[in-house]
Amino acid sequence: MAVRHYDSLVIGSGPGGEGAAMMLAKNGGKICLVEKYGEIGGGCTHWGTIPSKSLRQAVQQIADYRNDPLLRRVVGPVDIAYPDLLKAADAVIAQQTGMRERFYYRNNVDVVTGHARFVDEHTIEVETARGASERYSADHFVIASGSRPYHPSDVDFEHPRVHDSDSILRLDFSPRSITIYGAGVVGCEYASIFANFGLKVNLVNVRKQLLAFLDDEITDALGYHLRNQGVVIRNDEEYDRVEALDDGVVLHCRSGKRMKSDVLLWANGRTGNSQDMGLEALGLVIDHRGQIGISEHYQTSKPHIYAVGDVVGPPSLASASYDQGRFAATHILHGTAGSMLLSHIPTGIYTKPEISSLGPTEYELTEQRVPYEVGRAMFRSIARAQITGNTVGMVKLLFHTESLAILGIHCFGEQACEIIHIGQAIMSQPGDGNTLKYFAETTFNYPTMAEAYRVAALNGLNRVF
Ligand SMILES: Cc1cc2nc3c(=O)[nH]c(=O)nc-3n(C[C@H](O)[C@H](O)[C@H](O)COP(=O)(O)OP(=O)(O)OC[C@H]3O[C@@H](n4cnc5c(N)ncnc54)[C@H](O)[C@@H]3O)c2cc1C
């Protein structure tokens, strides 16, 4: 079998693979990208970030309409079926896929469709959907094969009422109630989407607290607002069994609680896509979650094989995966890479209210005995928020009491995932450039949400002087 040779070969066309392939190609390498799904873009484009955020936007539009007395009076009630809402993502997915195909074409990256499997440490075999296979060799490899929802063996995911975060995007009827098992980021986002769409939602959390990695004030706000939207949150529960029936699904918990709803969304954990790739035979380290062991430079135990993105575990974000891909590519090209890109990755959570945070929480700073103060701006006191009617939310700045350097930013409310980046720009400045004073001494457009930073900075400075 003829073997085509490349400088680098990337497996997977999600953000991790794209970040790596583009950087390697732009630096003159002969690059091949292998993707087993029929279209490029990865889980991010086809069954993760993009479709879930498009669904969220469609649901929000309907909720805004339903809450607008003027529109309701003029146009009447609106009743849209869930499968129709899902179509909102189609146009975005087509745009994203088309745009990425052009990137690869323009940068002379060869895109091969099929399942990649290592046959030796420098050669892979790609098996197409029709069963044909071809071999490719390369000096370096980047594995960016993503992850999939974890399926416990005692839950029947073939049942039409039992879903994971992939199949819920193919649900072909409109449920009136849903139980979501697992209250991580994906579980909370879907709880918010379905509650906003008008479903009865049970959110079953296997932990004591929602999203415990966030600042307490933000977690409290999330719990309050989800409950306010009608979500029933059950903390510290564990399932005993799932009973899937013709007319609904019953989740039996170890505590004795039983919850019946039209559908069940299982959102508890993910598994790395490392299976059936010939990795064990190469001696790569893979844990029980399917995650590949890597060094601080994203190298596996074979230094010419890198792994990035969801397949290496947290933070499991599209944003971080892309940067990890670029980091690995830089390391391949230069034998070294700065860690700047990978430190201080913000968290973006698209619940309603939206949440974003960067840097340590109050709890972490207290534990580390860092002297800090807090500056807050509540959105209800910001003119722009009053005008748009989005008065739920807050920007909270944690800063060093002596140097005034910003240490952490915790934000919730409309556009929180955008608003965080204003503070990030200052927080990432070296030395004296990172100072709370920037926000107190800078003129902001008025009315804007950016003004919240000025209000928070003044609030914080008043506490230290
Ligand atoms: C519901 C949901 C919502 C999310 N929302 C957000 C969000 O709002 N913001 C955010 O930053 N992140 C979000 N994420 C996470 C984000 O989607 C992932 O972190 C990101 O897609 C990981 O990128 P990746 O490149 O590692 O893998 P993926 O995007 O999953 O791509 C991996 C690709 O590799 C291919 N592949 C796998 N094995 C092989 C093989 N052997 N041969 C060839 N190809 C292979 C797969 O077909 C896939 O196309 C969300 C995830 C989910 C599930």
The SS3 assignment for 125 reads strand
Instruction: Enter the DSSP assignment of 449.
Output: S
Q: Is the CB of 13 under 6 A from ligand 1?
A: yes
pLDDT exceeds cutoff 70 at 177: yes
Distances (CA, A) of 251 to 202, 227, 265, 382, 384: 10, 20, 11, 43, 44
Is 267's C-beta closer than 6 angstroms to any atom of ligand 1? no
Cα(272) to centroid(ligand 1), Å: 10
Any ligand 1 atom below 6 A from CB of 20: no
pLDDT in tens, 211-234: 999 999 999 999 999 999 999 999
- pTM greater than 0.85 (yes/no): yes
Give pLDDT tens digits for 301-320: 999 999 999 999 999 999 99
pLDDT at 24: 98
Q: What pLDDT score does 67 carry?
A: 83
Nearest ligand 1 atom, CA 40: 49
Average the pLDDT over 276-292 and give the result: 97
> What burial letters (b/e) apply to 243-253, b meaning 16+ CB within 10 Å?
ebeeebbebeb
Give the pLDDT confidence score for residue 340 in this predicted structure: 61
The atom number, within ligand 1, closest to the CA of 53 reads 8
pLDDT at 71: 79
CA of 361 to the centre of ligand 1 (A): 27
379 in Cβ contact with 391 (< 8 Å)? yes
Q: How far is the CA of 450 from the centre of ligand 1 (A)?
A: 32
- The verdict on the CB of residue 356 being under 6 Å from ligand 1 is no
190 vs 267: CA distance, rounded Å:
9
Cβ(320)–Cβ(345) below 8 Å = yes
> What separation in Å is there between the alpha carbon of 34 and the centre of ligand 1?
14
Computed over every residue of the chain, the mean pLDDT equals: 95
**Ligand 1 pocket: which of 35, 49, 298, 356 to mutate (most atoms within 8 A of CB):** 49
Contact between residue 17 and residue 309 where contact means Cβ atoms under 8 Å apart: yes
CA of 20 to the centre of ligand 1 (A): 14
pLDDT exceeds 80 at position 74: no
Q: How far is the CA of 307 from the centre of ligand 1 (A)?
A: 13
Bond into 15 cis (ω within 30): no
Residue type, 443: T
Q: Are 384 and 356 in contact (CB under 8 A)?
A: no
**187 CB under 6 A from ligand 1?**
no
> What integer is the mean pLDDT of 106-133?
95
Distance 43 CA to ligand 1 centre (A): 4
